[in-house]
Amino acid sequence: MAPLMLQQVQMFLPDELNVAFSAGLTDSGKVGPFDEETTLIFSKTITNIGQGYNSSAGVFTAPVRGLYFFSFTAADYLKGYMGLYLYRNEQPIIFSLDLNDHGGYASTTSAVALQLDEGDRVHLALPASYRLYDDSRNFSVFSGFLLFPV
């Protein structure tokens, strides 16, 4: 029996199971520091299959119950702390932190698999007094996709 081709497999998947997004943060350079924790709006949509990511609010909303995979990379170029929280609804799940002690470009990356219910929301937040950097080269990117429904 011949293996199924990707196009053949996709024919069997309902449209609501085709979920994937990637978005860059901004073209404007530095982001932050802010006086309080701030939800980051990754406004440069690279991919948004299934329309689960809202680039105006910076929030992904799960269209179906399932296991999802999320990753992000954040960059900065000045000395100091950079870091991000990844939230599921209003609960912080992971915190990724780096101290840029040399003053050149530095980045931090993290990833997590999360079981989400339909309607659960995932977003990234910048803690108070932290900052990031992004420009047209997309140093800071937020991505996610559905691994499988549960």
> pLDDT digit string (tens) for 86-111?
999 999 999 998 877 777 788 889 99
Phi (first) and psi of residue 125, to 5 degrees: -130, 145
133 three-state secondary structure: strand
The answer on pLDDT for 7 being more than 60 is no
Note whether residue 119 is domain-resident. yes
Domain span at residue 40 reads 21-149
In a domain, 93, yes or no: yes
In a domain? residue 10: no
Q: How many domains does the chain have?
A: 1
Q: How confident is the model at residue 13 (pLDDT cuts 50, 70, 90)?
A: low
List, for residues 29-42, the tens digit of each pLDDT value.
889 999 999 999 99
The 10s digit of each residue's pLDDT in 44-53 is 999 999 999 9
Residue at 12 is within a domain: no
With beta carbons less than 8 A apart as the criterion, state whether 101 and 3 touch: no
pTM of the entire structure? 0.86
Compute the distance between CA of residue 135 and CA of residue 30 in angstroms, rounded to an integer. Answer: 8
Q: What is the DSSP string of 73-84?
A: EEEE-SSEEEEE
In a domain, 66, yes or no: yes
Calculate what percentage of the chain has a pLDDT beyond 90: 68
Beta bridge partners of 59: 54, 123
User: What pLDDT band is residue 3 in, cutting at 50, 70 and 90?
Assistant: low
104-141 burial, b at 16+ Cβ within 10 Å, e below that, comes to eebbbebebebebeeeebbbbbbbeebbbbbeeebbbb
Per-residue pLDDT tens for 54-63?
999 999 999 9
CATH at 76: 2.60.120.40
Rounded alpha-carbon distances, angstroms, from residue 58 to 3, 6, 7, 15, 39: 39, 30, 31, 23, 7
Q: What is the pLDDT of residue 107?
A: 86
